[in-house]
């Protein structure tokens, strides 16, 4: 299923709101575009993060950081499913960091029994 323009905007809005309420916001320059939607994927621009944060949390174990990040965004992604009346969606999430790009597909399912 391709997302409509409105669905793309609402998805990025929900993820932006999530970013604003996490500790990571302290390490992102003001007025930066940390999360965006392009070519069917959600992108997180890790290159924007402050160098100290990168050294402490990302470079020491990049794979673990990405997996933990994906775990944390499950709640806002489920919220998006509910708001858009979608029961299941496979999100492509891309992380861009210092010339390195990691893409992950995650399936998020909305169930009233979760």
pLDDT confidence of residue 1: 65
Cβ-contact 44, 36 below 8 angstroms: no
Distances (CA, A) of 90 to 21, 32, 47, 101: 24, 26, 25, 19
Q: Where are the domains of the chain?
A: 5-109
Distances (CA, A) of 110 to 2, 25, 59, 78, 100: 18, 27, 33, 6, 31
Could you give the CA distance from residue 8 to residue 61 in angstroms, rounded to a whole number?
Answer: 30
pLDDT confidence of residue 6: 95
pLDDT confidence of residue 112: 65
Mean pLDDT by 10 residues, the chain (114 residues): 90 96 94 94 94 87 90 95 93 86 90 59
Cβ-contact 49, 28 below 8 angstroms: yes
pLDDT confidence of residue 61: 86
Closest-CA residue to 17 (of 67, 64, 83): 83
pLDDT confidence of residue 81: 95
Nearest-10 crossing angle of helices 74-83, 62-72: 40
Could you give the CA distance from residue 2 to residue 5 in angstroms, rounded to a whole number?
Answer: 9
């Amino acid at each position: 299923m391709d997302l409509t323009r409105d669905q793309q905007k609402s998805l990025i809005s929900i993820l932006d709101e999530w970013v604003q309420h996490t500790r990571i916001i302290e390490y992102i320059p003001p007025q930066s575009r940390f999360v965006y939607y392009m070519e069917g994927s959600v992108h997180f621009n890790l290159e924007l993060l402050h160098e100290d944060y990168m050294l402490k949390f990302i470079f020491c174990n990049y794979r673990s950081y990405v997996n933990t990040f994906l775990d944390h965004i499950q709640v806002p992604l489920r919220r998006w499913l509910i708001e858009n009346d979608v029961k299941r969606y496979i999100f492509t999430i891309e992380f861009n960091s210092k010339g390195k790009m990691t893409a992950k597909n995650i399936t998020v399912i909305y169930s009233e029994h979760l």
